[in-house]
Structure 1
Amino acid sequence: MGIDYQQDSTTLRTDVLIVGSGPIGAIYARKLVEAGYKVLMVDAGAQESEIPGEHKKNIADVSLNDFSSIIQNDLTPLSSTMPAASATLAIGGMSTHWTCVTPIPHPTLEAPKLFTQSKWNSLISEAQDLLHTTSTTFDTSTRQDNLKNFLNASGHSFKSTPLACQKSENGEIIYSSTSSILSPILSSKNFTLLPNHLCPKIYKQDQKITSASLTSLSTNTHFSVVAEQYILAAGAVLTPQIIYNSNMSQTLPALGRYLTERMVTFCQIKLDKKFSGNAGEVNIMEGVSEGKKWVTVINREAHQYGQLPEDLDCGDVLDVRCMSAVEPDVENRVEFGEKGSDGMPMPSFKVSPSNADLKVAAKMMLEMQSLATSLGSFVTEPKIMPLGTALHLSGTTRAGESVETSVVDSNSKVWGVDNLYLGGCGVIAEGMACQPTLTAVGYALQGVEGVKAALSA
């Protein structure tokens, strides 16, 4: 097991404690267990599948409408101040139902500035391998090819969407999630996973975390965890919540600040007859470029929104979705106040897109409408979705070069603390339009190297 304990002891000991079982926590766990270290992973959520953190598309054969309902039920709103912002409290987190879209950030407009280009390329390449990212999932689709050719002939640069998935021998798509990342170590004696265990607080003395408190939500029993290294990967809101609850925010002025999120425009179309005869699924995207700081994805996918009427023939219906970034601003933030029923300080958001952000969103909306009308007729009217809809909150524990403007360094180690690392989209400092998971994995892989170096020392 990844823990040492004695009968009736209230103290667990391990090499590394990881709080959070999403794909980023799973990356840390896998790499550290493979390096020979004992890892204890805890999560406040339940284990909802036989294999921990399985993607629900791999085990639920339902319609897109029904899967959208599954996503809705899995989401827990974080605050009434941004109702669309939510978390998934379960083993696997968001990876149990995410779209698996894993694009490489634009090298100059989105990629982290903390790494050399060669270093970042190496991290991203390894991240793609671990998530099984491929751009060939629907390459046999004549409809996808025809749509790409049609759009690119008018000056666009649509490509097949990179997706974290594999195809089985019978052609079935197997979507990546926490389960696929952890699968090589699930039977290791050096790995222990505890669902339904909340980590409300960590304890710091001088420049070192000395222990973490743990509460079993099933039995209401309390433990103390003593580790050499601690990794918080509980999400862009719940990670800073733990740090705030641990009375560490006074020495981390950037904690919770520089919050970024994607602005989303969305509509659904019924394809024109000239495309309706083509067979196959469609999943294509166009990334950011100079003068166009948004991404466009055309597919038919389940989200917590976008359900279609049951009596509608969905065969020729596609979603058209664009996303641009709310750029980093010190005043855009999550704050924590009075404690809720779980004993944790409740978050509230203060986020206001700048005039520049809104101008980009307006241009994005116009292009989405133009694209949609070139392909077919509207099934649902174009709309700007509420902020937080993308579920891509970032920046709240951002990486940087100083404690004044960031929370962690380039290794994702918290400033002024020798053995505390953070993981997840919260460490992403840039205002990215593209989906952030692959980038967060890249940061985590660099963080793993820092943790391993500290452990070996």
Structure 2
Amino acid sequence: MTDVLIVGGGLMGAAVARELRDADPSVGIVIADGGPVIGPTPGQHLHDVADARLWERYNQRVASGIQGFYTGVAPTSDVGSLADVEPGMYHLTSLGEDAAEMPAASIAWNAGGMGVHWTAATPAPWGDEIPSFLDSAEWRSDLDRAGELLRVNRNPFPDTEAGTVVTATIEKLFADVDAPGRSVQPMPMAAQRDAAGVLRRTGPNVIFPPIADAATDPHFTLLTETRAIRLIHEGGEVRGAVVQDVRTGATREIRAAATVVCADTMRSPQLLFASGIRPPALGRYLNEHAFLTGRVLADPQRLGFDLPALPAQADGEIMIGHYWQPHSGAAQPFQAQIGVQAFTAEDGTRLACQVGTSLYIPTEIKADNRLEFSGEETDAMGMPRISVRFGWSDRDRELIEQARRTQQALGDALGSFDPDTESALLDPGCSLHFTGTVRMGPADDGTSVCDSDCRVWGFDNLFVAGNGVVPTALVCNSTLTGMTTAVRAARAVLATLG
């Protein structure tokens, strides 16, 4: 018997554990994490892993700057038995799900979840991205705490001449539509420089250090390769979960006074469904912004910067500067991600300066964009098979066309931009910023899965946390917003424990 069982050891699970531990050094915590550990240290971000082979593979995979390409452009064949699968990122299709309508959707099969892979961008939500039914002061406090847990750095890259002129050019372009304080600015990242100047990403073991070495916390247990297959519940009370050893198939029960499911936007509702917990909104309201990627070679002469003087990119970094142009609501509905890259010859000569001009485009929240769970078929994990139902509305497509025009203006202002070769509308799922499938709401009216404290409707001691709880259509990257739900869930768990 433990006080709190956390299903999922990624960023959100780590944050719940950290909040519980900071509040009470004696509370018993068990994290059950289904996947195997990558590298020698649980929860270590792969950007900073000591294993040279893993480090090189990770940095090669993220070199495109598009996290959805981390798993490759097209799904592989079915992975087969999970006991034999190498830990890493996999398309839903590869894990036996029906994801034809969201073909680029992927999830992590490893301890630490996406928290050991993510690119660490943490722009803050604004306007309609913030749930209107939450107390504004409490929301701001939760957002601040989420930033502290992630160790957000508001200016992670040093200023460069090229970055200065690129951002000044973009600022002029958006000056008439920017809301106050919403002009182009450095992209915040969950990354801090160490004594050697290396930009270290925040992984789960940074948020909750005992994940790296459970022996340092006598009241904490980390179980890897141990997946929750069913929650044990009766009469509105969850008493823990049945877990399964991935290697042997053996099952056992973990009893807990409170349970928090942080298994990601796809697998959290899957576990609830498998447990017979099926509120009407479960799996529904699946949302993801559309992703229009782009790039342009900056014209040094026109913009007025010295190409030979560009700094070189540091080992493991794919850019010398990272910026974002926030959305400003209806007047300017897109988030632009601006990455400045230096192309260098073997002799050190600077060959070109490339600027990424990707746009995130908000999409309408619809109940029919959803995950359907089979009552008969199972996936590679032995869980109810998921069928993804997802499509863009007419309004979404209008915004996508508007985004193409905005991207064209961006590219033309910076250099010579050809959308036929330097732009692409990526397949649904490619951003990996999924939300809504266990969404919070102000009332148990069938349109939400949990209340504003992340407590599942109808249960006293069952909570959900993570991006799936976010009820709004995000334009920004989802992790910082999702982290606020971990803060809220932990606070509610502490109240439940008394």
TM-score by length of 1: 0.90
Where does structure 2 lack aligned partners over 5 or more consecutive residues? Answer: 50-54, 73-87, 93-97, 176-182, 312-319
Residue in 1 that maps onto 2:159: 140
Q: Give 1:207 deviation, angstroms.
A: 0.7
Check conservation: 1:271, 1:375, Cα contact below 8 A. Answer: yes
* Alpha-carbon distance in 2 for matches of 1:150, 1:411: 43
Check conservation: 1:139, 1:145, Cα contact below 8 A. Answer: no
Out of 432, 453, 462, the position equivalent to 1:420 is: 462
Are 1:358 and 2:397 matched, yes or no?
A: yes
Letter in 2 for 1:371: L
Deviation larger for 210-219 or 227-236: 210-219
Q: SS of 2:399's equivalent? A: helix
Letter in 2 for 1:71: Y
Residue in 1 that maps onto 2:186: 160
Structure 2 counterparts to residues 49-448 of structure 1, below 5 A: 49-59=39-49, 60=55, 64-68=59-63, 71-72=70-71, 74-78=88-92, 79-81=98-100, 82-106=102-126, 108-156=127-175, 157-183=183-209, 186=213, 187-249=216-278, 252-274=279-301, 275=305, 276-277=307-308, 279-280=310-311, 281-290=320-329, 291-299=331-339, 316-337=353-374, 338-378=377-417, 380-403=421-444, 404-448=446-490
Q: Give 1:68 deviation, angstroms.
A: 4.6
Check conservation: 1:204, 1:211, Cα contact below 8 A. Answer: yes
Letter in 1 for 2:8: G
Where does structure 1 lack aligned partners over 5 or more consecutive residues? Answer: 1-12, 302-309
* Alpha-carbon distance in 1 for matches of 2:59, 2:299: 22
Q: Give 1:341 deviation, angstroms.
A: 3.9
Q: Cα 1:344–1:442, aligned 2, differ >3 Å: closer, same or farther?
A: same
Q: SS of 1:258's equivalent? A: coil
Check conservation: 2:240, 2:254, Cα contact below 8 A. Answer: yes
Deviation larger for 81-90 or 338-347: 338-347
Q: Give 1:299 deviation, angstroms.
A: 0.8
Letter in 2 for 1:152: E
- Report the identity percentage: 29
Check conservation: 1:143, 1:278, Cα contact below 8 A. Answer: no
* Alpha-carbon distance in 1 for matches of 2:113, 2:20: 20
Q: Give 1:317 deviation, angstroms.
A: 2.3
Deviation larger for 430-439 or 147-156: 147-156
* Alpha-carbon distance in 2 for matches of 1:201, 1:278: 58
* Alpha-carbon distance in 2 for matches of 1:314, 1:297: 23
Letter in 2 for 1:143: A
Check conservation: 1:47, 1:195, Cα contact below 8 A. Answer: yes
Check conservation: 1:138, 1:144, Cα contact below 8 A. Answer: no
Check conservation: 1:269, 1:378, Cα contact below 8 A. Answer: yes
Check conservation: 2:33, 2:223, Cα contact below 8 A. Answer: yes
TM-score by length of 2: 0.83
* Alpha-carbon distance in 2 for matches of 1:279, 1:234: 42
Q: Give 1:151 deviation, angstroms.
A: 1.7
Q: Give 1:399 deviation, angstroms.
A: 0.3
Q: SS of 1:127's equivalent? A: helix
Residue-by-residue CA offset, 1:113-170 (whole Å, 9 max, x unaligned): 2322211111111111111111221133222222112221333421000111101122
Letter in 2 for 1:29: A
Deviation larger for 23-32 or 177-186: 177-186
Q: Cα 1:447–1:75, aligned 2, differ >3 Å: closer, same or farther?
A: same
Q: What root-mean-square deviation, in Å, do the aligned CA atoms of Structure 1 and Structure 2 show?
A: 2.3
Q: Cα 1:63–1:120, aligned 2, differ >3 Å: closer, same or farther?
A: closer
Check conservation: 1:327, 1:430, Cα contact below 8 A. Answer: no
Q: SS of 2:47's equivalent? A: helix
Residue-by-residue CA offset, 1:259-279 (whole Å, 9 max, x unaligned): 111100012222212343552
* Alpha-carbon distance in 2 for matches of 1:294, 1:95: 25
* Alpha-carbon distance in 2 for matches of 1:453, 1:104: 27
Q: Cα 1:300–1:24, aligned 2, differ >3 Å: closer, same or farther?
A: farther
Q: SS of 1:352's equivalent? A: coil
Letter in 2 for 1:324: I
Q: Cα 1:63–1:328, aligned 2, differ >3 Å: closer, same or farther?
A: closer
Letter in 2 for 1:101: A
Deviation larger for 122-131 or 351-360: 351-360
Q: Cα 1:341–1:72, aligned 2, differ >3 Å: closer, same or farther?
A: closer
* Alpha-carbon distance in 1 for matches of 2:207, 2:426: 32
Q: SS of 1:405's equivalent? A: coil
Q: Give 1:66 deviation, angstroms.
A: 4.5
Q: SS of 2:173's equivalent? A: coil
Deviation larger for 225-234 or 375-384: 375-384
Residue-by-residue CA offset, 1:313-334 (whole Å, 9 max, x unaligned): 8752232211112221111111
Check conservation: 2:469, 2:482, Cα contact below 8 A. Answer: yes
* Alpha-carbon distance in 2 for matches of 1:416, 1:442: 22
* Alpha-carbon distance in 2 for matches of 1:325, 1:45: 32
Q: SS of 1:349's equivalent? A: strand
Q: SS of 1:133's equivalent? A: coil
Residue-by-residue CA offset, 1:384-411 (whole Å, 9 max, x unaligned): 1101100011000000022311000010
Q: Cα 1:39–1:300, aligned 2, differ >3 Å: closer, same or farther?
A: farther
Q: SS of 1:267's equivalent? A: strand
Letter in 2 for 1:181: I
Out of 28, 34, 37, the position equivalent to 1:47 is: 37
Check conservation: 2:360, 2:475, Cα contact below 8 A. Answer: yes
Check conservation: 1:30, 1:184, Cα contact below 8 A. Answer: no
Check conservation: 1:260, 1:325, Cα contact below 8 A. Answer: no
Q: Give 1:180 deviation, angstroms.
A: 0.9
* Alpha-carbon distance in 2 for matches of 1:112, 1:102: 18
* Alpha-carbon distance in 1 for matches of 2:137, 2:29: 30
* Alpha-carbon distance in 2 for matches of 1:433, 1:264: 10
Check conservation: 2:298, 2:355, Cα contact below 8 A. Answer: yes
Check conservation: 1:76, 1:88, Cα contact below 8 A. Answer: yes
Q: Give 1:219 deviation, angstroms.
A: 2.4
Letter in 1 for 2:335: V
Q: Give 1:88 deviation, angstroms.
A: 0.7
Q: Give 1:49 deviation, angstroms.
A: 2.8
